Structure 1
Amino acid sequence: MRSAYGVETVRAAERELMARLPDGALMQRAAAGLAAVCAQLLRGGGPGRRPARRKVAGARVGVLVGGGDNGGDALYAGARLARRGAGVYAVLMDAGRAHGGGLAALLAAGGRVVERLPERLDLVLDGLLGIGGRGGLRPAAAALAAQADTARAAGALVVAVDLPSGVDADTGEVAGAVVGADVTVTFGAYKPGLLISPGATYAGTVRLVDIGLALPARPEVSALQDADVAGLLPVPGAESDKYRRGVVGVLAGSGQYPGAAVLAVAGALRGGAGAVRYVGPADQAVLARFPETLIGTGRVQAWVAGPGLGDGRLAEVERLLASDVPLLVDADGLRGLSPEALRRRTAPTLLTPHAGEAAALLGVDRASVEAQRLRRARELAERYGATVLLKGSTTVVCDPAGQVRVNPTGTPWLATAGSGDVLSGLAGSLLAAGLDPLDAASAAAYLHGRAAHHAAADAPVTAQQVAEALPAAWRTTSEASGAGGRARRVGVSGT
């Protein structure tokens, strides 16, 4: 699991560690790790833009230097590269606020202070702002960020120090100019802004340097990995039958959108439950594609409601709100939902909106949801008393207790019609198999994204192809973790 911690938590851990270390030792640890990653990149060990040099000596490195410790990290790392034979050129945002020790070390190692970045650089270090930066870049920093962009366009690798300048460390929000990095070297812990878009899109590949911080067991944000997901997936035992494995009910589809029902059922059938029960007007379309589907009302351990329902069917969703089994509400089922109705439920509830649907639920504009994904997911979970899976460029899952997970898998090609219907069916099946909403949503998003890569990582993909690739995603997730078959969960009784 990738665990991310907010600014105040990281700073408290740094203060505690610095109290036990010699003065300046923590910065030297960070700078040493940063320089090591830069050296590896210059030798061809990363996402190179120029042809690999295979050595540090003779490389040309630019350093953009802000005030405070972030600029100090960059200066000391530049000094280490200069001592290995690189030509290092530092541009100071404010000479009076540059870290004195770091600047002296750079000059002593043969580095130079210049007015602007020279041409033909191999690598640029973004040391303008650290994790405390808020509200976007000021004009002086924005002007230097533009120099980094110019160097990158000319082929230089850009390496962000701890966090790309212009990204909010706690939220991933971006206000105005920002440095786009190929690699971010972060110290001690991941920061939420490195995992959540739009900030994550500017971070490139993230490298974590361990500097010895003691951090709380519960992170502010986490991202599951193969082993975490494999440990959640339901695996039938010898005594299992379809009811012990869980039955998921699907209320979806309409005369106008029968395909939504087919795709939701497709996701549910591949989600680990023992059976899928379909209720709705698209039963013939569902049976034609999936004859194993149960048709009509009956016992279920979870419900999925909403994909392709069309207008005027809120009463059907409200009847399910009164049930005592877990309920996933998506798409058209979200229209007209009230916080009071959700809070009256005693069984778990999972909402799976995209940005537009989330905006309608919150009474805000869509752009604010897309720009503030973490903040809006938390707001939805708190207001509605439900776990929320906010779909989009970064899928954010948040439960009413404030636990947050972000999904690390997927591809932009998932932004295709019907993809969300497959995800809803998959997550509903995991609910029926006994997972709580946070785990069901997190595991479903992970498998859904991985299935898209199996289907066509770098090419257009259809929702049907994603559904068909779910078994392969399930299998490779378990195999990659070495934990296949470890978890054994069954559904609970339901009606």
Structure 2
Amino acid sequence: MRTAYSVETVRAAERDLMARLPEGALMQRAASGLAAACADLLGRVYGSRVVLLVGSGDNGGDALYAGARLARRGAGVTAVLLSPERAHTGGLAALRRAGGTVSGTGGAEELIARADLVVDGIVGIGGKGGLRAEAVPLAEAAARARAAVVAVDLPSGVDADSGQVNGAAVRADLTVTFGTHKPGLLVDPAREYAGSVRLVGIGLELAAEAELEALQHTDVAALLPLPGAESDKYRRGVVGIAAGSARYPGAAVLAVAGALRGGAGAVRYVGPAAEAVIARFPETLVSDRGPRSAGRVQAWVVGPGVGDDAATVAEVLTADVPVLVDADGLRLAEPAAVRGRAAPTLMTPHAGEAAALLGVAREEVEAARLTSARELAERYGAAVLLKGSTTLVAGPGGGAVRVNATGTSWLATAGSGDVLSGLAGSLLAAGLRAVDAGSVAAYLHGLAGRFAADGAPVGAHDVAEAIAAAWRDVRD
């Protein structure tokens, strides 16, 4: 599992480690890893042109010491000092001894234009509020240049803890981060600025709880429900789907498609799209008597395509089993009914739906996704799966937020969310906790989207059909 920790936790761990090491040893570890990553990116170090953008903090020192290592291997290294009087003294001396040169910001844009590699050491993980005015032209020049851009620990101008980008920021091709991932490297919009991320171990001991967790194949495989020798369809779990309407029968079909591939033993469908569901999936158990009379289920999915059927949403929310609320259900559900539930609830909004639930503009949610997911979970007392290019799953009791980036932009297609809801609901019925069900579903759904698309447009039904391949890929 990949984890990310807050700036406060990282700073405390760094202080503890520095107290046990010789002075400067921790910076040398970071600089060594940074120089190695830069060398790998360059391919050939000798004769290459490297420009260091150096601020006043420790990130500037890391960049200077790494630049010295590259200079000793034959690179032509120039450090552009944004605050010459506050540059790291030891790093600056090391660079000069290795044959590197130093420049002010005058003429820096021309240096960047000719460079093979630009190293962003302007601001560290404590930076807030975007780049300062004097750094903006350098970031813009780096974006225009043919050079690869490597960020030291975090792209300058992005918020390490929240993933917000409030102003201009450096766009990196590679971010070399030290000790642990920072939340901003895993959450959009900041993740978009980080490029590829390379973690360099420097010996930090992180005892506090992580801010973010990102499941990997092994973690997901351990959570997947598997039938045993004595399993039957009911012991494996039954998921109820209350979805669709005369206007949106396809939402029901797609939710059922996701549910059938999610590990539960059977799917019950309740709603006006029964004929369409049975025509496509004859194994579905259908009922026209409403959720309470549909038969026993271990979890419900309610909302996809239900239109204005508030009565069905309200009825499902009274069930004493886990309930997933999506799409129209999010709009129709009474907040008090969600907060008052004794059984777990999983809400699955996209940014627009989350904005409506929070009473803010969509842009606010997109700019502060981590904060928004946590606030929704706290406000509704429910697990929240916030859809997007990075999907976030926050639990109602606080703790680490799960982040998932297995998807593809081709998943932005009609009905994709209905498939995800059915899949997550099936995992709930199979016995997974709400946060686990949401996390595993997002992981498999994203992977299935990649497999189905393979670089081309894809429909929601294609994604549903690829879930089995994603499941096998994770298990294998």
- Give me the TM-score of the superposition, normalised by structure 1: 0.93
Return the offset for 1:107: 1.1
- Aligned residue identity for 1:303: W
Return the offset for 1:393: 1.7
Q: Which residue of 2 aligns with 1:122?
A: 116
- Give me the TM-score of the superposition, normalised by structure 2: 0.96
Return the offset for 1:106: 0.8
Aligned mates of 2:27, 2:135 — CA distance in 1: 22
Asked whether 1:62 is paired with 2:56, we answer: no
Percentage of identical aligned residues: 72
**Cα deviation code 1:409-454 (max 9, x no counterpart):** 0001111000000000000000000000000000000000000111
> How many aligned positions are there?
464
Moved more, 106-115 or 343-352: 106-115
Change (3 A) 1:207 1:163: same
Gaps of 5+ in 2: 288-293
Secondary structure of 1:231's partner?
helix
Asked whether 1:194 is paired with 2:188, we answer: no
Aligned mates of 1:391, 1:472 — CA distance in 2: 22
Contact 1:411/1:457, CA 8 A, preserved across alignment: no
Asked whether 1:3 is paired with 2:3, we answer: yes
Q: Which residue of 1 aligns with 2:233?
A: 242
Return the offset for 1:149: 1.2
**Cα deviation code 1:134-157 (max 9, x no counterpart):** 111110121221222122xxx211
Q: Residue 298 of structure 2: which of 276, 298, 301 is its match?
A: 301
Aligned mates of 1:459, 1:126 — CA distance in 2: 34
Moved more, 440-449 or 113-122: 113-122
Contact 1:339/1:385, CA 8 A, preserved across alignment: no
Contact 1:314/1:335, CA 8 A, preserved across alignment: no
Aligned mates of 1:280, 1:340 — CA distance in 2: 24
Q: Which residue of 2 aligns with 1:49?
A: none
Aligned mates of 1:143, 1:320 — CA distance in 2: 56
- Aligned residue identity for 1:399: G
Return the offset for 1:96: 1.1
Q: Which residue of 2 aligns with 1:84?
A: 73
Q: Residue 279 of structure 1: which of 270, 287, 304 is its match?
A: 270
**Cα deviation code 1:348-376 (max 9, x no counterpart):** 00000001110111101100001100000
Q: Which residue of 2 aligns with 1:492?
A: none
Contact 2:313/2:332, CA 8 A, preserved across alignment: no
Q: Which residue of 2 aligns with 1:48?
A: none
Q: Which residue of 1 aligns with 2:129?
A: 135
Q: Which residue of 1 aligns with 2:291?
A: none
Q: Residue 331 of structure 2: which of 329, 335, 341 is its match?
A: 335
Asked whether 1:465 is paired with 2:462, we answer: yes
Return the offset for 1:457: 3.2
**Cα deviation code 1:261-293 (max 9, x no counterpart):** 000000000001000000000000000100000
Secondary structure of 1:236's partner?
coil
Aligned mates of 1:121, 1:438 — CA distance in 2: 46
Q: Which residue of 2 aligns with 1:386?
A: 382
Return the offset for 1:339: 3.0
Aligned mates of 2:207, 2:366 — CA distance in 1: 29
Contact 1:59/1:87, CA 8 A, preserved across alignment: yes
Contact 2:407/2:450, CA 8 A, preserved across alignment: yes
Asked whether 1:322 is paired with 2:318, we answer: yes
Q: Which residue of 2 aligns with 1:418?
A: 415
Secondary structure of 1:248's partner?
strand
Secondary structure of 2:47's partner?
coil
Asked whether 1:253 is paired with 2:262, we answer: no
Secondary structure of 1:244's partner?
coil
Q: Residue 451 of structure 2: which of 439, 449, 454 is its match?
A: 454
Q: Residue 348 of structure 1: which of 344, 351, 354 is its match?
A: 344
Alignment of 1:209-228 (within 5 A): 209-216=200-207, 218-228=209-219
Aligned mates of 2:24, 2:349 — CA distance in 1: 47
Aligned mates of 1:142, 1:408 — CA distance in 2: 29
Return the offset for 1:338: 3.4
Return the offset for 1:41: 1.1
Alignment of 1:29-108 (within 5 A): 29-43=29-43, 55-108=44-97
Asked whether 1:232 is paired with 2:223, we answer: yes
Aligned mates of 1:22, 1:300 — CA distance in 2: 62
Secondary structure of 1:126's partner?
strand
Q: Residue 159 of structure 2: which of 168, 173, 186 is its match?
A: 168
Contact 2:313/2:333, CA 8 A, preserved across alignment: no
Q: Which residue of 2 aligns with 1:203?
A: 194
Moved more, 26-35 or 313-322: 313-322
Moved more, 139-148 or 176-185: 139-148
Aligned mates of 1:259, 1:409 — CA distance in 2: 25
- Aligned residue identity for 1:23: E
C-alpha root-mean-square deviation of aligned residues, in Å? Answer: 0.9
Moved more, 14-23 or 211-220: 211-220
Aligned mates of 1:412, 1:229 — CA distance in 2: 22
Q: Which residue of 2 aligns with 1:20?
A: 20
Return the offset for 1:478: 1.0
Contact 1:93/1:144, CA 8 A, preserved across alignment: no
Return the offset for 1:217: 5.7
**Cα deviation code 1:90-146 (max 9, x no counterpart):** 111111111111111111111111230413311110001110011111101212212
Contact 1:124/1:159, CA 8 A, preserved across alignment: yes
Secondary structure of 2:151's partner?
strand
Return the offset for 1:216: 2.0
Secondary structure of 1:222's partner?
strand
Q: Residue 435 of structure 1: which of 432, 435, 451 is its match?
A: 432
Contact 1:224/1:408, CA 8 A, preserved across alignment: no
Aligned mates of 2:124, 2:333 — CA distance in 1: 41
Gaps of 5+ in 1: 44-54, 480-495
Contact 2:373/2:386, CA 8 A, preserved across alignment: yes
- Aligned residue identity for 1:437: A
- Aligned residue identity for 1:130: G
